[in-house]
């Protein structure tokens, strides 16, 4: 089903030179309003294709569009009449116009929860919201980015979907590959949480545990792309990365639409590679440029776990470069020691008047429990990071409690039960009698 064009002609170019500006499939590629790839460093343009680095300067490539010009009110109406998924924003994404009719998981349009009880607990006097992306088909935000990568993989004629993953991405790729008719083969560090390993395997694709860190997995995948073995393989976050990354813009679009087409004052975003954060910023700018929201200042706050906080460390030291670290944290979904978009995260936090902060594993667990007991949302460890960082920044007077703030929860707590299991359990285990219940001290 995926191989609409001969896969081998496309992938040979991919496999031999990841920075290649030419791809046999590019002339016939229909990815909607996407017209080219452009270098984020030097601005050089490259035809749409499965490439991720600029041939001129090796800078990272991103998707360039000819976005619909004209009446913002008409565009707003079109979006509002669209499906309850990321496909309502199809005109702003690198996907064909009929994308919603193709077999896929239809992710997105998750809840934006007005978190009044959490606000009271944190001393927030303005509006506080949690964007709860645990409601996606595989229970993490990764379904958004993978859905876009699948469309690129179809367009370029790939037959196998792959990725290097800290866990959630592997599950999202496995699940998306199934209905779309791709073979999948995904790579993870061998020591991930059981929930993530099982979810990555259950959809029937190949799952390979690598003895090493995520950064080792990523290096291995780069080698695989350069080898004949990798012919016909679309790696969502490597050779399809420019397309994949665009999926994160939908978080920005949804937050603004759900707020009544309004940009929040402050957004707290988790950082692994930093891709999501940079594309939320890109999405906000696009909404402003299209006249869909009022042009007003917003501040972006980046959140990391202390045990893997290379971006936070660089921010605090006033550096522009991010020094790689070896991760040691329970927050495995954010455990990328050498984040590709780290310098861009620093730039956005500084430019918007935001900040980069980190929290300890203990504060992560506290954050998970705080969100659960105030709002009934069970977040994975990455959600504990954003809630924990929001609390820390409010306590420090860095986040303004009087403004409208959105905290993003990117995944489901059922995937990281180990984080809270040691400190969470039954209040008592008793015989089935009223006396025993009274004795347990719970009869009030």
Ligand X SMILES: *Cc1c(COP(=O)(O)O)cnc(C)c1O
Q: Which residues pair with 62 in a beta bridge?
A: 38
Map residue 337 onto helix, strand or coil. coil
CB of 201 vs ligand X, minimal distance in Å: 17
d(CA 112, CA 408): 9
Measured in residues, the chain has a length of 444
CB of 372 vs ligand X, minimal distance in Å: 16
d(CA 223, CA 226): 5
Say whether residue 306 binds ligand X (CB under 6 A). Answer: no
Say whether residue 108 binds ligand X (CB under 6 A). Answer: no
Which 36-75 residues touch ligand X, going by CB under 6 A? none
User: Which DSSP state fits 225?
Assistant: H
CB of 414 vs ligand X, minimal distance in Å: 13
Say whether residue 384 binds ligand X (CB under 6 A). Answer: no
Is residue 357 within 8 A of residue 389, CB to CB? The reply is: yes
Say whether residue 380 binds ligand X (CB under 6 A). Answer: yes
Instruction: Report the residue from 232, 274, 384, 413 that binds ligand X according to the rule CB under 6 A.
Output: 274
Our CB check for ligand X shows the closer of 26 and 363 to be 363
CB of 336 vs ligand X, minimal distance in Å: 6
d(CA 271, CA 73): 34
Backbone φ, ψ for residue 274 (5° rounding): 95, 0
Our CB check for ligand X shows the closer of 158 and 214 to be 214
Our CB check for ligand X shows the closer of 15 and 359 to be 359
d(CA 62, CA 299): 23
Backbone φ, ψ for residue 128 (5° rounding): -120, 130
Our CB check for ligand X shows the closer of 231 and 286 to be 286
Instruction: Report the residue from 197, 271, 377, 419 that binds ligand X according to the rule CB under 6 A.
Output: 271
Instruction: Report the residue from 140, 236, 304, 374 that binds ligand X according to the rule CB under 6 A.
Output: 140
Say whether residue 168 binds ligand X (CB under 6 A). Answer: yes
Q: How many CB atoms lie within 10 A of CB 1?
A: 11
Say whether residue 382 binds ligand X (CB under 6 A). Answer: yes
Our CB check for ligand X shows the closer of 180 and 271 to be 271
Element (H, E) at 325: none
Residues 6+ apart with CB under 8 A from 94: 31, 32, 33, 34, 48, 63, 65, 148, 151, 152, 243, 246
Our CB check for ligand X shows the closer of 193 and 231 to be 193
Backbone φ, ψ for residue 416 (5° rounding): -130, 50
CB of 334 vs ligand X, minimal distance in Å: 6
Our CB check for ligand X shows the closer of 155 and 308 to be 308
Our CB check for ligand X shows the closer of 11 and 168 to be 168
- Which range, of 14-22, 98-106, 249-257, 264-272, touches ligand X by CB under 6 A? 264-272
Our CB check for ligand X shows the closer of 29 and 176 to be 176
Say whether residue 273 binds ligand X (CB under 6 A). Answer: yes
Say whether residue 162 binds ligand X (CB under 6 A). Answer: no
- Which range, of 224-232, 274-282, 349-357, 423-431, touches ligand X by CB under 6 A? 274-282
Our CB check for ligand X shows the closer of 62 and 231 to be 62
CB of 379 vs ligand X, minimal distance in Å: 9
CB of 300 vs ligand X, minimal distance in Å: 13
Which 397-416 residues touch ligand X, going by CB under 6 A? 410-411
Beta strand pairing call for 266-270 and 299-305 = parallel
Instruction: Scan for tokens 């959140």, then name that residue.
Output: 303
CB of 268 vs ligand X, minimal distance in Å: 12
Angle of helix 72-80 relative to helix 249-258, nearest 10 degrees, comes to 90
Say whether residue 330 binds ligand X (CB under 6 A). Answer: no
CB of 341 vs ligand X, minimal distance in Å: 7
Q: Count residues contacting ligand X (CB under 6 A)? A: 17
Is residue 344 within 8 A of residue 274, CB to CB? The reply is: yes
Residues 6+ apart with CB under 8 A from 280: 248, 249, 251, 252, 267, 269, 300
Backbone φ, ψ for residue 132 (5° rounding): -100, 90
Our CB check for ligand X shows the closer of 124 and 269 to be 269
Say whether residue 309 binds ligand X (CB under 6 A). Answer: no
Say whether residue 276 binds ligand X (CB under 6 A). Answer: yes
CB of 195 vs ligand X, minimal distance in Å: 12
3-state secondary structure 378-438: CECHHHHHHHHHHHHHHHCCCCCCCCCEEEEECEEHHHHHHHHHHHCCCCCCCCCCHHHHH
d(CA 157, CA 214): 27
Q: Which residues pair with 40 in a beta bridge?
A: none
Say whether residue 388 binds ligand X (CB under 6 A). Answer: no
Q: Which residues pair with 161 in a beta bridge?
A: 184, 234
Backbone φ, ψ for residue 268 (5° rounding): -110, 120
- Contact residues for ligand X (CB under 6 A)? 140-142, 168, 270-276, 333-334, 380, 382, 410-411
């Amino acid at each position: 089903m995926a191989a609409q064009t001969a896969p081998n002609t496309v992938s040979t170019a991919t496999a031999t030179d990841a920075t290649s500006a030419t791809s046999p499939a590019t002339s016939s590629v229909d990815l909607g309003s996407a017209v080219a790839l452009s270098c984020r460093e030097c601005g050089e343009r490259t035809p749409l294709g499965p490439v991720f680095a600029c041939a001129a300067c090796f800078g990272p490539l991103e998707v360039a569009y000819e976005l619909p010009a004209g009446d913002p009110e008409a565009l707003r109406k079109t979006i509002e009449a669209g499906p309850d998924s990321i496909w309502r924003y199809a005109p702003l994404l690198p996907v064909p116009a009929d994308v919603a009719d193709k077999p896929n998981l239809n992710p997105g349009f998750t809840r934006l929860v007005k978190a009044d009880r959490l606000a009271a607990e944190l001393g927030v006097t303005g509006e506080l919201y949690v964007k709860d992306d645990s409601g996606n088909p595989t229970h993490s935000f990764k379904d958004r980015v993978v859905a876009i990568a699948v469309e690129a993989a179809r367009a370029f004629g790939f037959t196998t979907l792959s990725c290097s993953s800290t866990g959630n991405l592997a599950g999202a790729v496995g699940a998306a590959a199934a209905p779309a008719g791709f073979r999948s083969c995904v790579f993870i560090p061998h020591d991930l949480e059981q929930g993530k390993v099982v979810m990555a395997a259950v959809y029937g694709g190949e799952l390979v545990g690598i003895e090493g860190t995520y950064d080792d997995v990523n290096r291995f995948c780069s080698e695989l792309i350069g080898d004949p073995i990798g012919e016909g393989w679309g790696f969502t976050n490597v050779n399809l990365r420019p397309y994949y990354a665009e999926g994160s813009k939908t978080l920005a679009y949804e937050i603004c639409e759900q707020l009544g087409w309004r940009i929040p004052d402050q957004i707290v975003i988790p950082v692994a590679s930093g891709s999501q954060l940079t594309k939320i910023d890109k999405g906000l700018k696009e909404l402003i440029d299209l006249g869909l929201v009022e042009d007003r200042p917003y501040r972006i706050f980046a959140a990391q776990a202390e045990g893997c906080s290379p971006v936070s460390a660089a921010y605090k030291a006033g550096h522009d470069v991010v020094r790689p670290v070896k991760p040691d944290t329970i927050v495995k979904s954010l455990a990328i020691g050498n984040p590709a978009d780290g310098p861009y995260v620093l730039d956005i936090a500084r430019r918007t008047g935001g900040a980069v902060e980190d929290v300890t594993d203990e504060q992560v667990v506290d954050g998970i429990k705080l969100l659960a007991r105030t709002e009934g949302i069970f977040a994975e460890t990455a959600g504990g990071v954003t809630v924990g960082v929001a609390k820390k920044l409010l306590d420090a007077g860095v986040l303004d409690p009087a403004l409208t703030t959105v905290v993003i929860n990117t995944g489901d707590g059922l995937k990281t039960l180990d984080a809270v299991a040691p400190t969470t359990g039954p209040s008592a285990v008793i015989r089935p009698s009223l006396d025993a219940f009274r004795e347990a001290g719970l009869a009030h």
